[in-house]
Amino acid sequence: ETGVTQSPTHLIKTRGQQVTLRCSSQSGHNTVSWYQQALGQGPQFIFQYYREEENGRGNFPPRFSGLQFPNYSSELNVNALELDDSALYLCASSPGMRDRVSPLHFGNGTRLTVT
Amino acid sequence: GENVEQHPSTLSVQEGDSAVIKCTYSDSASNYFPWYKQELGKRPQLIIDIRSNVGEKKDQRIAVTLNKTAKHFSLHITETQPEDSAVYFCAATHNNAGNMLTFGGGTRLMVKP
């Protein structure tokens, strides 16, 4: 059984650019969540996808968008990058139903640096 | 929305001693409380979780207690070892929020040999 995998591991972008981060969920998991973890802080919820539909969103602007594919893998897209977007972006998957809590399994994250 | 406060932000203990980390939450509807351990440069890993229908759960040296009335929950690590050194995060959510966890700010635990 493979765990959650994310790519790339590190990324450097310039302010104003766009970025796409990718996540493959753990086998058998149909729910994917994305979190932003700034240095020295706890992860903050961005949004969640269940069976290819967005199923909840945190306090992030519309320039943060995502997709989930039929194989349950997912993408996080960020447009018009700002310096404050520099963070570790974590993907987590779970086998849960859309309205039932189940344990999250995190990937190793993508470290995004915006200069 | 939910707000989770975590204390202390740093905790230093001697190997073999116990460590206790405390969290409070604001949303009385929250009913699932996981704890994650994050070592430097690594992913958060679930170490234990508790649901609101029980008051305590134990797994070897780790235990979690929940007080729904006071809206606080705690992580207890006994017989600490140097490999317990990491940042620990508490979180809270409820069924209607799916897996949208609200995390505390984290506790850096240092276990001195």
Q: What tens digit of pLDDT does each residue of B47-81 get?
A: 999 998 889 999 999 999 999 999 999 999 999 99
**DSSP code of residue A31:** E
Q: Per the structure block, which two tokens stand in for B55?
A: 């008051």
Which of B48, B89, B100, B103 is the mutation pick for testing A, counting most A CBs within 10 A?
B100
- Banded pLDDT at A97 (limits 50, 70, 90): low
Contact A44 B103 (CB under 8 A): yes
Contact A90 B105 (CB under 8 A): no
Q: Which residues contact A39 (CB under 8 A, 6 or more apart)?
A: A87, A88
Q: Per the structure block, which two tokens stand in for A101?
A: 């809590």
Place of tokens 């620990």: B88
HSE toward the beta carbon, residue B50, CA cutoff 13 A: 22
Residue B1 has pLDDT above 90, yes or no: no
CA distances from B26 to A34, B1, B9, B76, B96 (A): 23, 8, 19, 21, 16
Q: How far apart are CA B22 and CA B90, in angstroms?
A: 8
Q: A84 in helix, strand or coil?
A: helix
* Chain-centroid distance, C-alpha A43: 11
Choose between B1 and A113: higher pLDDT: A113
Q: How far apart are CA A6 and CA A89, in angstroms?
A: 9
